[in-house]
Amino acid sequence: MHEFTDIELIELFRNADKKHYAFNLLVQKYREKIYYFVRRMVIIHDDADDVVQNIFIKVWNNLDSFREDAKFYTWLYRIAVNESLSFLKSKKLHSFLSLSSPEAMLIRALHDDNYFDGTEIQRRLTEAIIKLPKKQQIVFNMRYYDDLSYDQMSEILGTSVGALKASYHFAVKKIELSVFEN
């Protein structure tokens, strides 16, 4: 089966007859990458599912006006980052009302999540990531799990490569301390 490039899929999407077909292929191509990126940010499967759906709905609504001089996956990741942060912000408000920190709420949710069956060390790693500042968390997930280069991350986050390297280094050191030395 011929594998379409992103540009080909976007062209197909702009053809009214092929819109659904092209969108399905785009979702199939990126669903797992985007899902796991979001899942590591929001922790719970149901929340990740909601956020992922919102991301692809945004893609559907805005792909017609997408400029082809930008890379599709950069654009998609940026939407994913923004949607995840918006979701966490709304969670923060809930945590303020429930008088517990957002991190504590996410750690509790991780323990209650039926769709997490990692080892104890994996659980501690996830908890350590939750405790990171949001920017470091995003940089760590993109680099450690998604294998993105600093140039790609720079395009997505609009941050210099130097600042991203520093963020990653700080994140790794904090996690190491939290997971292996406590």
Partner 1 sequence: MKINHTISEQDQETDNLSPQLQLLRHEESGCQVPEGYFDTLSPRIIDRIKEKENRALSKSGILVFRKPVVWAPIVAVAIAAVLLIFIIPSKSNQIIPAYDELADINMAYDASYAEEVLLAESYSRDKEIEMAANIIPVTSSINVNSDVTEEEIVEYLKDQDLEIEIITEY
Query: Which stretches of the chain bind partner 1, using CB under 8 A?
Result: 6, 20, 23-24, 27-33, 35-36, 39-40, 45, 49, 52-53, 56-57, 60, 73, 115-119, 121-123, 125-126, 143-149, 152, 168-169, 172-173, 175-176, 179-180
| Minimum distance of partner 1 from residue 166's CB (angstroms) | 12
Pick 68 or 176: Cβ nearer partner 1: 176
Q: How far is the CB of 102 from partner 1 (least distance, A)?
A: 19
Nearer to partner 1, 17 or 97 (CB): 17
Helix (H, G, I), strand (E, B) or coil at 33: helix
Compute the C-alpha angle 104/109/114, nearest 5°. Answer: 160
- For 77, residues 6+ apart whose C-beta sits below 8 A from its C-beta are 34, 37, 142, 156
Task: Find the angle CA(63)-CA(69)-CA(73) to the nearest 5 degrees.
Answer: 55
